[in-house]
Amino acid sequence: MLTPLPPRTTRLGPLEIRRLLPVRQRRLIGPWCFLDRYGPLSFTDEKPMDVAPHPHIGLQTVTWLLSGEVLHRDSLGSEAMIRPGQLNVMTSGKGISHAEETPRSHSGVLSGVQLWVALPDAARHRDPSFEHHAELPRMDVRGADVTLFIGGGSPASAYSPMVGAEARVREGTSLPLDGSFEHGVMLMEGDATADSVELEIDRLYHAAPGLDELPVETQRGARLMLLGGAPFGEQVYMWWNFVARSKEEIAAARADWEAHRFGEVIGYEGARIEAPQFPVPAEANPAS
Ligand code: MN
């Protein structure tokens, strides 16, 4: 059974986004802990994507585009342009900083998805790394053109059982699922009815473990994102750009960013993002 999760609209600098995860009703789908959907939009002189240098710990950022291009730079010295059909995966491990922006030379359109994956305890203290994958496994699944961008044979590094895929459905199909995973499905373009639920565009639907396949019907064709994973089984604590296990870890990461201990992003023109105030509860005054 698919359960709709209500999105909320917010802004990322000049860019309007729909935040589909986390929402009050659901914090995680497998290890997936964050999903922002932006676009489609057209522009001329503006720079709709302009996210200044900021830090991450305890997660992977997963960038997937439907149209346009985004330039990634990070504190390891990575510089990578991503285009539709390609994948950027940045594994923060114990800490990295990065910036993402619309490149000076661009196609004037932008539509994409920004995802985070929570790293399990065994992987969250590793050294940071960045991967750009221009080639990903694509297969025809019963009338759907499926690109696996993480898990299920994708070359992208994954640290817990998961899947992330885009499915272009031409006509009715049934997508095979791992029944031990919970899943999220999002209709990004076109129309679709999945598991007898008529999907609203850019809305995330959750399915609990136990679903072995997802029947999809479409009239005009559909472009779907499918996310899944084994129920994460670890309590995560998310604040700002950090995924941790405690308030103390968050406070330490914030202090590290304040002290410029995440390294510098070379090549981004402009100031970095300062951390918001962390609401640490006041210490009780010793009795005097
Ligand atoms: Mn980021």
**What pLDDT, on the 0 to 100 scale, is given for residue 39?**
96
The CA 99 to ligand 1 mean position distance, Å, reads 7
Compute, in angstroms, the gap from residue 213 CA to the centroid of ligand 1.
Answer: 32
pLDDT 10s digits, 138-191: 999 998 999 999 999 999 999 999 999 999 999 999 999 999 999 999 999 999
Cα(244) to centroid of ligand 1, in Å? 15
Q: 56: CA distance to ligand 1 center in Å? A: 7
Q: How many Cα atoms occupy the beta-carbon half-sphere of 110 within 13 Å?
A: 27
- For ligand 1, the distance from its centroid to the CA atom of residue 214, given in whole angstroms, is 31
Phi/psi for 111 (5° steps) reads -155, 130
Q: What is the mean pLDDT of residues 252-269?
A: 96
153 CA to middle of ligand 1, Å?
25
CB under 8 Å to 274, separation ≥6 — which residues?
none
Q: How confident is the model at residue 96 (pLDDT cuts 50, 70, 90)?
A: very high
**pTM, to two decimals:** 0.95
CA of 136 to the centre of ligand 1 (A): 22
53 CA from centroid of ligand 1 (Å) = 8
Of 10-14, 18-22, 29-33, 260-264, give the lowest mean pLDDT range. 10-14
Distances (CA, A) of 8 to 24, 161, 217, 239: 10, 28, 27, 17
pLDDT digits (tens, 9 = 90+) for 7-23: 999 998 889 999 999 99
